[in-house]
Amino acid sequence: MIQAIVFLPLLAALIAGLGQRVIGTTASKILTTGALFTSCALSWPIFLSFVMGSGEAEVVTVLHWVSSGALQFNWELRVDTLTAVMLVVITTVSALVHLYSWGYMEEDPDQPRFFAYLSLFTFAMLMLVTANNLVQMFFGWEGVGLASYLLIGFWYKKPSANAAAIKAFVVNRVGDLGFMLGIFGTFLVFGTVSIPEILAAAPGMAGSTITFMGMRLDTMTILCLLLFIGAMGKSAQLGLHTWLPDAMEGPTPVSALIHAATMVTAGVFMVCRLSPMFETSEVALGVVTFVGAATCLFAATVGTTQWDIKRVIAYSTCSQLGYMFFAAGVGAYGAAMFHLFTHAFFKALLFLGAGSVIHAMHHEQDMRYYGGLRKHIPITFWAMMMGTLAITGVGIAGVAGFAGFHSKDGILEAAFAAGGGGVIAFWVGIFAALLTSFYSWRLVFLTFYGKPRWEQSEHIQHAVHDDHGHGHDDHAHAAQGDHHHHDAHHGASGDGTAGYHPHESPVSMLIPLVLLSIGAVFAGYAFKYQFIYPEQGLAFWNGSMLAYDAELMHHSHQVDTWVKWTPFTVMAIGLFLAWNSYIRNTTLPARFVAQFKLLHQFLYNKWYFDELYNVLFVKPAFWIGRFFWKKGDEGTIDRFGPDGAAALVAGGTRLAVRLQSGYVYGYAFVMLLGLVGLASWAMVNFL
């Protein structure tokens, strides 16, 4: 069964990608979507068996892979609780994204390639989470990096999409260097890349030292920090986060797939999979906690100022990943995985809902040009409401709540119970929760409430202009960006929108929204006991190698009442602030920006990380590149190498041409000179 789950997406990707001209567009879409729904249908029984307590960890050998001296390992698929959680997350979101793309990418002329990339991405992620050794994990790790590059740059005729794809690829290479060094060091220390063997031996290495960069340092701290650098790149943590918002240049289904359930959660999964290693180093756990909390705060502050609907949700993803990491840093790995699980449903819902809004607004992504859409696209509105209620953590302690309420509050309570740095992370998380509520409800109010502001949008004006008969090439337009042409309805709308009337998305896009809404509402309550309650959690995680701390989770449920009610309180404050600013008193945001102009610019420009990196890394890299190009390549290698040799040959050729005149008297003269020279030499040497 596990072989089918993993390899069906690969088979579908190969057939759709290589055989699209033979089988056609529709068959490619049916094949890839069918393969993902089949993998999804096979994944849920595995997950539910672990939920019910009847599942058992197993390892399935696919083939013997490498045997080189001490380095020996097989290609194996590991199935345990941790894998089962990731299987349902990946296959469910990917299957629904495939279905959603039927409607969203309908006008794109290159759909088979798109669906093949989606399936290839899913296969690589499945390879990562089923890995039983570090090399196989790295194979999947790099596979999702490649597939994300292809998907982000899918519209390769769009310069910004190409730049975003390259940026994602390069930034992730920085993190991957740390990951590779961590794998090399782990093999050096443990003599194996087998994850079970490494985790079994890890406690025995606590306190040992190793020479690194000429210094004797704690072995496990160095290994864990190197591995965590890889996680920082893949999961867009502070410092290596700059690629994530730019990845919005890809089609919206790509955003949902990459930022909801797959690529960006790979780092969290890796830290949880190797949690027994991290448990041997307090320093490494402290770094994970600090970086996670800092990322949580940074992304939340930036999200409050953005106008692009997809970028707001992208920074929200970055912030939620911070929650997962500082949960892992304080030892609450079950809570980290729980938030990963619930986050997949409501974040995919928010991204796909945003895509539905963009579809209705003729590829307009600026929320300043929305307003009043709840009457025109009611299903999308209610789906986005469910996602917003989930991500902001709406619920009543001890009673009920949406998915994010159970998982995010579980993280905050565990952080507080952990004490020390966990308390600091708790307060950072509380402030981030306030900001999350504000920017999430800000998105809802700007998009679905208030008066329509569509007449200010060039995209809407262009749509109406085209519908009057001027037209444009839909296919070429779709290839240039996140664009879809659909009918503009005319008539006296009475709302100053130049006659444009947004309409609901097709059924293929609405079905995923409805199904993900169910997950956003019930996923937290349905599975909270298995993930974060001590006794059930011990049984659920048994055999997964996860360092589940039942004592910490027990204490997390015993925290003071004010700790449990604080997240709800700040959520309500954020909701009120957003309502007061964008519904009741719409002039307030402009006055705030005018009053705190420097702060707003700092946040709107993303803390100037891109500008800083441009000065520190990009410009010096270009200068070094130009120097070696002009002085090294052209000025030295070409000059004295191929160009110099070519010049020497050309000069010799010209000389030879002059000597080979073709006249007999010229040759006779040369012969005479030769005879005179020979005679002179003989006279000197023999007479």
Across residues 530-542, what is the average pLDDT? 88
pLDDT of residue 454: 80
Residue 494 CA, distance from chain mean position: 42
Cα torsion angle, 93, 95, 99, 102, sign:
positive
Residue 185's Cβ-side half-sphere holds a number of Cα atoms within 13 Å equal to 25
Residue 659 reports pLDDT greater than 90: no
Which one-letter DSSP state was computed for residue 194?
Answer: B
* Residue 218 structure tokens: 């704690």
Q: Please state which of the ranges 4-18, 393-407, 459-473, 566-580 shows the lowest mean pLDDT.
A: 459-473
> In the prediction, which pLDDT does 463 show?
62
Residue type at position 365: Q
The torsion of the CA quartet 651, 657, 659, 662, rounded to 10 degrees, works out to 180
Q: Which residues of 155-178 are buried (b: 16+ CB within 10 A; e: fewer)?
A: beebeebeebbebbbebbebbbeb
Lowest-confidence segment of 3-17, 56-70, 224-238, 486-500 by average pLDDT: 486-500
Amino acid in the structure at residue 90: I
Q: Nearest CA to 577 among 412, 452, 445, 396?
A: 445
Q: If you ran DSSP here, which 8-state letter would residue 544 be given? A: S
Average pLDDT estimate for 174-180: 93
Residue showing tokens 């809902």: 353
pLDDT band at 261 (very low <50, low <70, confident <90, very high): low
Report whether 255 contacts 243 (CB < 8 A): no
- Separation of alpha carbons 407 and 339, rounded Å: 5
How far is residue 45 from each of residues 366, 512, 534, measured CA to CA in Å?
Answer: 41, 20, 24
Following DSSP, what letter does each residue of 600-664 receive, concatenated? HHHHHTGGGHHHHHIIIIIHHHHHHHHHIIIIIIIIIIIHHTHHHHHHHHHHHHHHHHHH----H
**323 pLDDT more than 60:** yes
pLDDT of residue 260: 64
pLDDT of residue 243: 86
| Residue 462 pLDDT class (50, 70, 90 cuts) | low
Backbone angles phi, psi at 346, to 5 degrees: -75, -25
Q: Does 620 score more than 70 pLDDT? A: yes
Give which of 291, 348, 295 is closest to 101, Cα–Cα: 348
* Closest among 455, 304, 446, 467 to 373, alpha carbons compared: 446
pLDDT of residue 24: 86
Residue 398 scores a pLDDT above 80: no
Residues 51, 529: Cα–Cα separation, whole Å: 10
CA 114/CA 36 separation, integer angstroms: 14
Sign of CA dihedral 175, 283, 273, 245: negative
CA atoms of 215 and 334, how far apart (whole Å): 35
Q: Is the pLDDT confidence value at 441 over 90?
A: yes
**651 has pLDDT over 50:** yes
Helix (H) or strand (E) holding 1, with range, is none
**Nearest-angstrom CA–CA distance, 37 and 5:** 10
For the stretch 577-583, contacts whose Cβ atoms lie closer than 8 Å and that sit 24 or more positions apart, written own/partner, are 577/438, 578/437, 578/438, 578/439, 578/440, 578/441, 578/442, 578/444, 578/445, 579/441, 579/445, 581/442, 582/442, 582/445, 582/446, 582/449, 582/450, 583/445, 583/449, 583/450
Pairing of strands 209-212, 71-79: unpaired
Band (pLDDT 50/70/90 cuts) for residue 687 is low
In this structure, what are the phi and psi dihedrals at residue 209, rounded to the nearest 5 degrees? -125, 160
- 192 pLDDT higher than 80: yes
List, in sequence order, the alpha helices (H) in 191-281: 195-201, 219-234, 243-246, 252-256, 266-273, 275-278
Return the top range by mean pLDDT from 332-336, 523-527, 666-670. Answer: 332-336
Residues in contact with 316: Cβ distance below 8 Å, sequence separation at least 6, in sequence order: 299, 300, 303, 347, 350, 391, 436, 439, 440
Task: Answer with the residue of higher pLDDT: 485 or 393.
Answer: 393
Confidence of residue 467 (pLDDT cuts 50, 70, 90): low
The whole-number pLDDT of residue 300 equals 94
Percentage of the residues of the chain whose pLDDT score is greater than 70:
93
Poorest-pLDDT segment among 224-238, 442-456, 586-600: 442-456
| Backbone CA torsion sign across 254, 260, 264, 267 | negative
Per-residue pLDDT, 249: 85
Q: How confident is the model at residue 493 (pLDDT cuts 50, 70, 90)?
A: very low
pLDDT, one tens digit per residue, over 365-392 is 889 888 888 889 999 999 999 999 999 9
Which of these ranges, 42-51, 374-383, 389-398, has the smallest mean pLDDT? 389-398
259 pLDDT higher than 80: no
565 SS3 class: helix
Q: What is the pLDDT of residues 91-142, one digit of tens each?
A: 999 999 999 999 888 888 888 999 999 999 999 999 999 999 999 999 999 9
Q: Are strands 71-79 and 58-68 parallel, antiparallel or unpaired?
A: antiparallel
Q: 187-194, long-range: CB within 8 Å, 24+ apart, which pairs?
A: 187/71, 187/134, 189/219, 189/223, 191/70, 192/73, 193/71, 193/73, 193/133, 193/134, 193/135, 194/73, 194/132, 194/133
Contacts of residue 426, defined as CB under 8 A and 6 or more positions apart, other chains included, come to: 412, 415, 416, 563
Q: What pLDDT, on a 0 to 100 scale, did the predictor assign at position 196?
A: 94
Q: Is 307 helix (H, G, I), strand (E, B) or coil?
A: coil
> For residue range 600-618, what is the model confidence (pLDDT) as tens digits?
999 999 899 989 988 988 8
Question: What confidence category does residue 5 fall into, taking pLDDT thresholds of 50, 70 and 90?
Answer: very high
- Average pLDDT taken over every residue of the chain: 87
Range with lowest mean pLDDT among 176-185, 389-398, 533-542, 630-639 = 630-639
Average pLDDT of the residues in 533-560: 90
* pLDDT of the residue at 464: 61
Q: What is the mean pLDDT of residues 245-250?
A: 84
Q: Which residue has the higher pLDDT, 685 or 562?
A: 562
**Buried/exposed 57-90: b ≥16 CB within 10 Å, e otherwise:** beeeeeeeeeeeeeeebbbbbbbbbbbbbbbbbb
The per-residue pLDDT for 465 is: 62
- Quickly state the pLDDT bin for 306 (edges 50, 70, 90): very high
What pLDDT was estimated at residue 477? 41
pLDDT band at 427 (very low <50, low <70, confident <90, very high): very high
Q: Which amino acid is at 279?
A: E
Judge whether residue 39 has pLDDT over 50. Answer: yes
Nearest to 577 by CA among 385, 423, 459, 434: 434
- Residue 470: pLDDT above 60? no
What local confidence, expressed as pLDDT, does residue 607 receive? 92
Residue 429 has pLDDT above 60, yes or no: yes
In sign, the C-alpha dihedral spanning 43, 48, 50, 55 is: negative
Q: Looking at 38-42, 362-366, 553-557, 607-611, which range is the least confident one?
A: 362-366
| Mean pLDDT value of segment 200-209 | 90
In residues, how long is the chain? 687
Q: Has residue 483 got a pLDDT over 50?
A: no
Is the pLDDT score of 298 beyond 50? yes
Are the C-beta atoms of 223 and 186 separated by less than 8 Å? Answer: yes
* Tokens (6 digits) for 635: 């000025």
Distance of alpha carbon 403 from alpha carbon 261, whole angstroms: 15
